[in-house]
Amino acid sequence: MKLKRFPFIIILAHLLGCGAYESQLNDSIEVHNQGIESRVNALEEEVNQLKEELSQMSIKNIENESLITKEESEKKVKSSHSQNAKEDFESSFELLRKGDYVSAEVALRDYIESFPQATYTDDAKFWLAESLYAQAKFSEALEIFNQIIDQYPDSEKMMESILKSGFSHQELGDLKTAKAIFQRVIREFPNSSASSLASERLNKIGQ
C-alpha cells in the first residue's frame, strides 16, 4: 500500500513544483513587463523633451531668419536711399553749376526736405545759400550760412560758410559784423584761400 502511494506523492510534488515554477515565471514576466513599461515611459519623456527642444530651435531659427531678413531689407532700403540722395544732390548741383539759380534753389530745398540726415545735407545747404546769394537774397542766404556754422561744426563747408556769412553781412550793409567775421577767418584759417578773400574784403571796407 505504501508503495502505491509513492508515485502519487511524486506526481503531486512534481505538480506543486510546476505550480511554483509557473508562479516564479509569471513574477519574472511581470517584473520584465514593468521594466519594459518603465523604459517606454522614459523613452516617451525623452522624445517629448526632444520635440520641445526642436520646437524651441525652430522658433529661434524662424526668429533669426526673420531678423536677418529684416536687417537685409533695411540695408537694401538704406542703400537705395543713399543712392537716391546722391543722385538727387548731383542733379541739383548741376543746375547751380549751369547758372540756373532759381531751379537750383527749388531742387536743393526739395533735397534737404527729402533727405534731412543724408551725407550731403550740409553741402546741399551750403549750395542752397549760394543760390540765394546769387539771386541777391542776402538775408535768406545769411540764415542758411549760419545754420551750417551752428549745426555742422565738422562740415567741410565750415570755413566757406563763415566767409560767405561775412559777404552777406557786407551786402546787407552791416559792415561792422562783416569786418569781425573777416578777421575771424584770417585768424582761424591762415594761409587759406578764404583768408586771402577775407583780407581783400577788409581792404575794400577799410580796416
pLDDT digits (tens, 9 = 90+) for 77-103: 344 445 788 898 999 999 999 999 999
Q: What whole-number distance in Å separates Cα of residue 148 and Cα of residue 146?
A: 5
pLDDT at 85: 84
Residues of the chain with pLDDT below 70 are 1-48, 50-82, 207
Output the nine-digit C-alpha cell for 98.
549751369
Q: What is the dihedral of CA 65, 70, 76, 77, to 10 degrees?
A: 170
pTM for the predicted model, two decimal places: 0.61
pLDDT at 94: 95
pLDDT at 126: 97
pLDDT at 31: 47
Contacts of residue 4, defined as CB under 8 A and 6 or more positions apart, other chains included, come to none
pLDDT at 187: 97
- Rounded to the nearest 5°, which phi and psi values hold at 144? -70, -40
pLDDT at 80: 45
